[in-house]
């Protein structure tokens, strides 16, 4: 019994150290603790009015904790905005929080389909990808016919 306390203390310190390390790096298959890793997708307007993505691929790990920021600096009105979808990623993730400006929506067990910016601004959502795979990103403008661009999330 004399060794129970030192072993318990050593175990607690090891667990604390492991928790600190996991916050710094995402590990596949491990549900990460806050804070989320911020990733950004800025959509701007190209020379012919087409949407242009700042990144076209995001590499994520299963169980990692991410906050996806969809940023639309060029949107002015309904005619110049952008529409974002990543339906399969959303269907294979645990959604945590969706926020627009200072409004936060906690998503326990819920889902959403798309984000649209009709004015300059940003929206974001935090999530844990739960299944590995390659998931499409679809962005279009509001023209008729719509101009489209694609990217992808790669979850390992």
Sheet containing strand 114-117, strands side by side: 57-60, 148-155, 133-141, 82-85, 114-117
Burial label for 116, CB within 10 Å (0-12, 13-18, 19+), is middle
**Cα dihedral sign, 45-49-51-52:** negative
Domains of the chain: 4-155 (2.60.40.420)
Alpha-carbon distance of 90 to 100, in angstroms, equals 17
Instruction: Name 133's Cβ contacts closer than 8 Å, sequence gap at least 6.
Output: 88, 92, 155
CA dihedral 89, 53, 31, 16 (to 10 degrees): 180
Burial label for 10, CB within 10 Å (0-12, 13-18, 19+), is exposed
CA-based Rg of the chain, rounded to a whole angstrom?
19
CB atoms within 10 A of CB 72: 27
Report pTM: 0.76
Q: List the chain pLDDT tens, one digit each, 156 residues.
A: 444 444 433 333 344 344 434 334 666 666 767 799 999 999 999 999 899 999 999 999 999 999 999 999 998 888 889 999 999 999 999 988 898 888 888 877 677 889 999 999 999 999 999 999 999 999 999 999 999 999 999 999
pLDDT at 132: 97
pLDDT at 11: 39
Q: Which residues of 15-28 are buried (b: 16+ CB within 10 A; e: fewer)?
A: eeeeeeebeeebee
What letter would DSSP give residue 79?
A: T
């Amino acid at each position: 019994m004399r060794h129970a306390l030192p072993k318990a203390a050593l175990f607690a310190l090891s667990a604390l150290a492991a928790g600190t390390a996991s916050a710094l790096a995402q590990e596949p298959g491990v549900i990460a603790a806050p804070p989320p890793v911020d990733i950004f997708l800025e959509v701007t307007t190209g020379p012919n009015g087409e949407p242009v993505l700042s990144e076209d691929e995001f590499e994520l790990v299963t169980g990692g904790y991410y906050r996806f920021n969809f940023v639309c600096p060029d949107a002015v009105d309904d005619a110049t905005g952008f529409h974002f979808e990543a339906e399969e990623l959303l269907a294979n993730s645990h959604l945590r929080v969706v926020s627009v400006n200072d409004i936060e929506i906690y998503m326990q067990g819920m889902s959403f389909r798309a984000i649209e910016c009709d004015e300059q601004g940003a929206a974001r959502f935090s999530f844990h990808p739960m299944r590995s795979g390659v998931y499409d990103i679809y962005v279009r403008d509001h023209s008729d016919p719509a101009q489209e661009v694609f990217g992808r999330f790669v979850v390992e």
